[in-house]
Structure 1
Amino acid sequence: MTRPADFWNSAYDNDTAPWVIGEPQPAIVAVERAGEIQGRILEPGCGAGEHTILLTRLGYDVLGVDLSPSAIDQARANAAAHGVPQVNFAVADALALGDDPAFAGNPPGSAPAFDTIVDSALFHVFGTDPESRAAYVAGLHTVCKPGGVLHLLALSDAEPGFGPRISDAVIRESFTTGWELERLDPTRYRGRVTAGVAEQAATLAVSPDGLVDVAAWIARIRRL
């Protein structure tokens, strides 16, 4: 079962979100530096906006969306603090992206709006919910242009960690019809140890500033 907006709002309002680290994920930075991001970009589940802000500063046309109004408020505040006020953010349900004519055209799928999608730690939230996962993947397909690319960073169950961790099989099985999985590699995801994950993180190597790098997957998936 997916979480309601109030659940995510609470994580931002109370500063308990372990995924808010005050900087972009190194794995996403590496993707950009490799020249793998182009065209118009969507970041679903943008959270506090670190990647949308980074990519906007670098000159990309980016839209960051999140289900949580509190996340979007924080993202806009972060953009202003970083001197990038022109960043585009919106409140939107990642499970209903394909129903939005601004993203998918009317009828849905007639005019997909995005060349690149950057998913940093959203897909794995649906890892144990096949129905939501399928709806999310279908929505991504509807809003991504043919030939466009999804870059997916998700927590891995390959070793101890925290949060909703998934196997590589979940990624492989989810992106079949209409997609081509071009690359799927192990990587690391940087998180912050907060009260909500302290017990799960008890055996992990935590830096003095409370950050920890855990196992993750990074995938490059092309929309056919």
Structure 2
Amino acid sequence: MTQAPEVWNSAYDNDTAPWIIGEPQPAIVELERSGRIRGRVLDPGTGAGEHTIALTALGYDVLGVDLAPSAVAYARRNAAAKGVPNARFEVVDMVALAESGDNPLGAFDTIVDSALFHVFVEAPEARAAYVRTLHELCEPGGHVHILALSDSEAGFGPRIGADMIRAAFAGPGWDVEELRPDHYYGRITEVVADSAADLTPDESGKVELAAWLARIRRAD
């Protein structure tokens, strides 16, 4: 099973989330610069809201969603502090949406998943439900971009192999157009200190972790 909202809430309430670095992931920033983000955008597992905030500031129609109410509260405070009070966030369980038969969010041209997919590494049923939700929410011809921690190097957090991404999107309705190594940046907090003992933060306190970056098109 995946972790309950209360577990995620604690990471935000106690400032122990290793994924909060105060800025968007460079890999996601590069997606926008290269023209890979278009139309209506969904940011599932928005966390601190950095990608929703950055894209909203650039003029995109973006919605950030997260399972944890504390994450959404944090993201809204973060947006206000960064001068982007119109950034939109909602509490949404992406796994539960697959079983509800309801879609209150509408359809999106681009879905940007930064560090959500990999949390289902040991939860195949939840992973499959999440992918069904992505298919429901993504417009035909639209794209899902996934930035996930890689098991190719030592690190912390739920790390996965490229084969898990390929297998999850191998069914009808998807086309994996690109899947390549990239990097994800985090910080060392008390919850990952033991597994991060061999990592050296840079001058800003961030650590670089191996990741996968996938571009997946929803087939027409």
TM-score for both structures, normalised by structure 2: 0.96
Per the TM alignment, residue 96 of structure 1 is displaced from its structure 2 partner at its CA by 2.5
Q: Which position in structure 2 is the counterpart of 1:28? A: 28
2:121 matches 1:127: yes
Q: Which amino acid aligns with 2:199?
A: L
Corresponding residue of 2:64: 64
Name stretches of at least 5 consecutive residues in structure 1 with no aligned partner. Answer: 105-112
The whole-number CA distance in structure 1 between the counterparts of 2:213 and 2:195 is: 22
Share of identical aligned residues, percent? 63
Residue 75 of structure 1: CA displacement? 0.3
| 1:121-144: CA deviation from partner (whole Å, max 9, x where unpaired) | 000000121101000000100111
Correspondent of 2:192 among 194, 197, 210? 197
- TM-score, scaled to structure 1: 0.94
Which residue matches 1:103? 105
Letter in 2 for 1:220: R
Deviation at 1:154, TM superposition (A): 0.1
2:152 counterpart of 1:158: yes
Q: Counterpart in 1 of 2:216?
A: 221
Aligned-residue Cα RMSD (Å) equals 1.0
Counterparts of residues 153-192 of structure 1 (less than 5 Å): 153-177=147-171, 178-192=173-187
In structure 2, stretches of 5+ residues that fail to align are none
**Partner SS, residue 29 of structure 1:** helix
Question: d(CA) in 2 for partners of 1:139 and 1:209?
Answer: 36
One-letter code aligned to 2:200: A
What is the aligned partner in structure 2 of residue 114 from structure 1?
Answer: 108
Q: Higher mean Cα deviation, 203-212 or 28-37?
A: 203-212
**Deviations 1:140-179, CA, capped at 9 Å, x for gaps:** 0011110010010000000000000000000010001210
Query: Does the residue aligned with 1:17 lie in a helix, a strand or coil?
Result: coil
CA distance in 1 between counterparts of 2:3 and 2:170 reads 26
Q: Which moved more, 1:148-157 or 1:208-217?
A: 208-217
Tell me the SS of whatever aligns to 2:217.
Answer: strand
How far apart, in 1, do the equivalents of 2:90 and 2:24 lie? 19
- Contact 1:97–1:103, Cα closer than 8 Å, also in 2: no
Report the CA distance between 1:205 and its aligned residue: 2.3
Q: Which moved more, 1:171-180 or 1:202-211?
A: 202-211
Amino acid at match of 2:127: R
**How many residue pairs were aligned?**
216
The CA deviation string for residues 55-113 of structure 1, in whole angstroms up to 9 with x for no partner, is 00000000000011110011000110111111110000011334443225xxxxxxxx1
2:85 alignment counterpart: 85
1:206 Cα deviation after fit: 1.6
Which residue in the other structure is 1:45 paired with? Answer: 45
How far the C-alpha of 1:210 sits from its partner, in A, is 2.5
Paired residues of 1:147 and 1:222 also in contact (CA < 8 A) = yes
- Distance in 1 between the 2:146 and 2:90 partners? 20
Q: Secondary structure at the match of 1:196?
A: coil
Question: 2:152 aligns to what SS in structure 1?
Answer: coil
CA distance in 2, matches of 1:97, 1:43: 15
* Pairwise CA distance, 1:207: 1.8
| Cα displacement (A) at 1:208 | 3.7
1:204 CA drift (Å): 1.4
